[in-house]
Each structure stands twice: as C-alpha cells, then as structure tokens.
C-alpha cells in the first residue's frame, strides 16, 4: 500500500491510466494549428513587404491588439488609427469571443508569436535537458509587467491616435524580417524578439509571461470564461506531471479549478495527466478533451473570421490609395481634386498609387526624384535609399504639389521628413 498526499491507493485499487495515443494526438493537433497559422501569417507578411498593388494587408491590420489600440478612436470619432484596418477590430472581437468561452485559447492555440516561443522552449529542453523556472519571488512581480505594458500602450494609442509601441513590438519586427526597414525602424522590436526567443529557451513563453499586452488583456477577460481546467481531487495521485507540463508554470496539482489568469488553455496539463478523467477542460457540467477544446476554440475563431470575410467586412488585401480615398467620399465615389490625404502615404505605398489617387503626374516623380516609370510600382521603402523618396518626404512633396504645382516643380528632395515611414 502506498500513500499519496491525501489519499491511499492499494494495489487492487490502482488508478485507471490514460491512454498515451490521445495525449499525443492532442499535442499534434494543437501544434499543427499553431504551425499553420504561423506559416500563413509569415507568408502574408512577406507578400505584403514584397508584392505591389493588391498585396495582402500588413501586420497592423492582422493583429487583434491593433483592434484594441484603435478602439477608443473608433468609439469616440468613428475613425480608425492610421495603419489599422477594420479587420483588426474584427480579430479582436473573435479573440474576445474565444476568451469568454475558452480563456486564453488564443494564446495557447492560435497566436504565432506564442508558438515561436514554444518552439524555442522545445529547443531549449533539448539543449539543456530540462525546463527552468524563475524564482517565485521574482516571477510573481515580473508577471505584472505585462499589465503595465498594456496600460502604457493603450494609454499612448488612445491619447495620441498613433501606434506608439509599434517600433518596440517583436511581432511587428518579425513581420518585417524581409524588409529593408528592419534594423532602422524596428531594431528595438527585433531586439525584444531575440530576447523573447532566447529567454524562451530557458523559461517557457518568456514574452507571454512577462511582457505581452494582448496576453494581459486576455488574462483579465479569462476570469469570466465558461471552460476552465478542472481537477478531480478524488482520483488525482499527486504525481505533479501536470505542473511539469505547464508552460506557464501554473500549479495545477494544487487547484480543483484552475482560475489562474496565466493559464493559456493549452491543455498540456490535461494531456500529461496519467490518470484517466482526472483533469479536463470543463464548464462544470460538460467536459472537453484537449483535442475537442482545440477544435471548438479554433473553430469558433475561424468561423467568426470566415463569416466576417464572407460579409465583406474582413479585408485580406491592402486597398489602393484610391480605394481608401473613395471610401472617404462614398456619396460621389470620386475624390475631389486637391483633397488627397497625404497621411495615407506609407512605406508600402507605390508611386503609381500616389499618381492614381492624388493626381500628381508620374513625370513629376521622375523629374524630382529621378524615379523612372519602370520603378514606380515598387513600394517607397524599397526605393527610398536609391532615389531619396522617403515616405515623409513624398508626403511633403505631394502636399506642395496639390497646393502649388509650380513650387513643387523645383522641390528639393529631402526638404520633408526623411526619417520614419
Ligand atoms: S494550466 Fe494547463 S491548460 Fe493552463 S497553461 Fe498550464 S498546461 Fe496549459
Ligand atoms: S497529472 Fe496532476 S492532476 Fe493528474 S494525477 Fe498527476 S498531479 Fe493529479
């Protein structure tokens, strides 16, 4: 007879062991979804950087946190913060809907940055042979940092109507890995990405735990979630396999209901538990296996986005400048001469788009910047170092052209802003 923490297990009363096959399947399903999302958004990011007109939308339009950053602007003035698209708001809605049912399943089952860290963690365990944990006295206060990042980034975005944390965002840096602007404009974000991945070699999901503002936001919402990991204390043999499996270092074996906001609903603890029907993702009356939780949570997210796409609200392609302008003038469908909003010109904009939307002749760009017609379908960020057509400078030039074409004819490149994008 052996004694566990609070119960006795006799040889004739052995626990029913959970089959290993479903455990493996749970991991395969979760990682397959995460890998597919990572591959898809990576491809979209590269195409956005490299393709011309009709390219996919950029990282800012495909991140639910962008929806949160623009929320105040949307509510107070009905407008979106520059760079943000309605798609981000819809992604935010889908993410919140998932969180209300399945806690931070977005973090554990969908987020590509979380998956990159998990890959790093897996590599770290191969290198070091074990998973480390930060001492509790340091870990607990450090986890509050992400709430500070959340408050600061929303405070700045909501008061300045700008994406203030964009240059420091590791995901934005990742999506610009193939961009010529990477080091100059996203150097800090790249450093944060490197620190996050190196940190995850040693401590699972390093960025998620300590710095991710989206994780902090979802942690607040997950308190109201329907499904949570629940432990049957009667059948638990106190082996602590669940604690060892948890990438967020939640003390599962000490809880009957895991209400810790750090839980990302990955189901790793449930998959690791050797005793059948001891851990489950449960609403109290209904229990799900990690696989069905994956299917339902990712399925809910995908269905909402597919519905928004079918309704024409979720855009996957970047609208041209002309399309953006025409949306601002829906009654006539045309842009009044001289009413072009130069703030729409970004690093990803092509000169051809400016020509079409603003009415500035293509020859003017050849005369002022020396950009030949054959190069005018390439994004400004790829031309700026060769021809000096920095987006900020082009904005200044176009603004001058629209008010005084004669003065614009003798415009000296570099008179406008040549930093930023
Ligand atoms: S408690 Fe379980 S479901 Fe939650 S993060 Fe830890 S392993 Fe994943
Ligand atoms: S894995 Fe956790 S819940 Fe399952 S038997 Fe071991 S201690 Fe109990």
pLDDT of residue 33: 97
What are residue 8's phi and psi, to 5 degrees?
A: -115, 135
Q: Is 53 helix (H, G, I), strand (E, B) or coil?
A: coil
What are residue 3's phi and psi, to 5 degrees?
A: -110, 125
> How far is 359 from 337, CA to CA, in rounded Å?
8
**Quick check: CB of 38 below 6 Å from ligand 1?**
no
3-state helix, strand and coil shares in percent for the chain, rounded to the nearest 5: 60, 5, 35
The 3-state secondary structure of 309-353, one letter per residue: HHCCCCCCECCCHHHHHHHHCCCCCCCCCCCCCHHHCCCCCEHHH
Mean pLDDT for back-to-back runs of 10 residues, the chain (421 residues): 44 63 84 97 88 77 90 83 86 97 97 97 90 87 97 91 88 90 90 97 95 97 95 95 94 96 96 92 91 96 97 86 68 56 84 89 94 89 88 92 90 72 48
**Protein residue whose Cα sits closest to atom 6 of ligand 2:** 239
Q: Is 79 helix (H, G, I), strand (E, B) or coil?
A: coil
pLDDT of residue 268: 94
**Quick check: CB of 238 below 6 Å from ligand 2?**
yes
Atom of ligand 1 nearest to the CA of 267: 3
What is the number of the ligand closest to the CA of 266?
Answer: 1
Please name which of 290, 3, 268 lies closest in space to residue 118, comparing C-alpha atoms: 268
pLDDT of residue 361: 92
**Protein residue whose Cα sits closest to atom 8 of ligand 2:** 236
Q: How far is CA 176 from CA 59, 102, 321, 370, 410, in A?
A: 9, 31, 21, 27, 35
What are residue 257's phi and psi, to 5 degrees?
A: -125, 125
Please name which of 69, 62, 68 lies closest in space to residue 85, comparing C-alpha atoms: 62
Which tokens sit at 311? 């309704």
pLDDT of residue 2: 40
**Protein residue whose Cα sits closest to atom 1 of ligand 2:** 273
Atom of ligand 2 nearest to the CA of 238: 7
pLDDT of residue 81: 81
**Quick check: CB of 264 below 6 Å from ligand 1?**
yes
Atom of ligand 1 nearest to the CA of 281: 3
pLDDT of residue 417: 63
What is the number of the ligand closest to the CA of 259?
Answer: 1
Which tokens sit at 4? 């566990």
pLDDT of residue 80: 83
Distance from the CA of 186 to the center of ligand 2, in angstroms? 44
**Quick check: CB of 228 below 6 Å from ligand 2?**
no
């Amino acid at each position: 007879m052996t004694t566990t923490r609070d119960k006795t297990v006799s040889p004739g009363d052995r626990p029913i062991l959970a089959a290993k096959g479903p455990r493996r399947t749970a991991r395969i399903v979760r990682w397959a979804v995460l890998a597919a999302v990572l591959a898809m958004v990576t491809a979209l990011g590269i195409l956005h950087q490299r393709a011309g007109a009709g390219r996919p939308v950029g990282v800012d339009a495909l991140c639910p946190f962008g929806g949160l950053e623009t929320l105040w602007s949307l509510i107070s003035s009905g407008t979106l913060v520059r760079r943000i698209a309605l798609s981000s708001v819809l992604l935010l809605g889908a993410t919140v809907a998932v969180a209300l049912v399945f806690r931070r399943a977005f973090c554990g089952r969908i987020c590509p940055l979380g998956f990159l860290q998990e890959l790093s963690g897996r590599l770290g365990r191969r290198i070091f042979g074990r998973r480390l944990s930060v001492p509790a006295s340091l870990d607990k206060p450090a986890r509050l940092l992400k709430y500070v990042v959340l408050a600061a980034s929303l405070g700045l975005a909501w008061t300045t109507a700008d994406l203030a944390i964009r240059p420091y965002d590791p995901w934005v840096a990742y999506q610009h890995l193939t961009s010529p602007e990477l080091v100059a404009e996203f150097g800090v974000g790249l450093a944060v990405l490197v620190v996050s991945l190196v940190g995850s070699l040693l401590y699972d999901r390093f960025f998620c735990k300590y710095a991710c503002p989206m994780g902090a936001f979802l942690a607040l919402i997950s308190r109201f979630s329907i499904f949570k990991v629940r432990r049957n204390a009667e059948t638990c043999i106190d082996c602590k396999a669940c604690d060892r499996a948890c990438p967020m270092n939640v003390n599962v074996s000490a809880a009957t209901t895991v209400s810790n906001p750090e839980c990302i609903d990955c189901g790793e603890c449930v998959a690791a538990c050797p005793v059948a029907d001891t851990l489950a993702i449960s609403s109290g009356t209904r229990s799900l296996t990690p696989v069905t939780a994956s299917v339902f949570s990712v399925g809910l997210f995908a269905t909402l986005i597919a519905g928004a796409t079918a309704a024409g609200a979720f855009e996957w392609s970047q609208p041209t400048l002309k399309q953006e302008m025409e949306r601002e003038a829906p009654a006539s469908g045309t842009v009044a001469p001289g009413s072009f909003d130069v703030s729409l010109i970004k690093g990803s904009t092509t000169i051809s788009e400016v020509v079409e939307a603003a009415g500035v002749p293509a020859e003017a760009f050849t005369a002022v910047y020396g950009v030949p017609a054959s190069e005018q379908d390439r994004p400004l960020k790829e031309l700026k170092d060769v021809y000096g057509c920095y987006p900020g400078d082009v904005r200044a030039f176009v603004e001058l052209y629209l008010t005084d074409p004669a003065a614009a004819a003798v415009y000296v490149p570099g008179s406008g802003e040549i930093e930023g994008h």
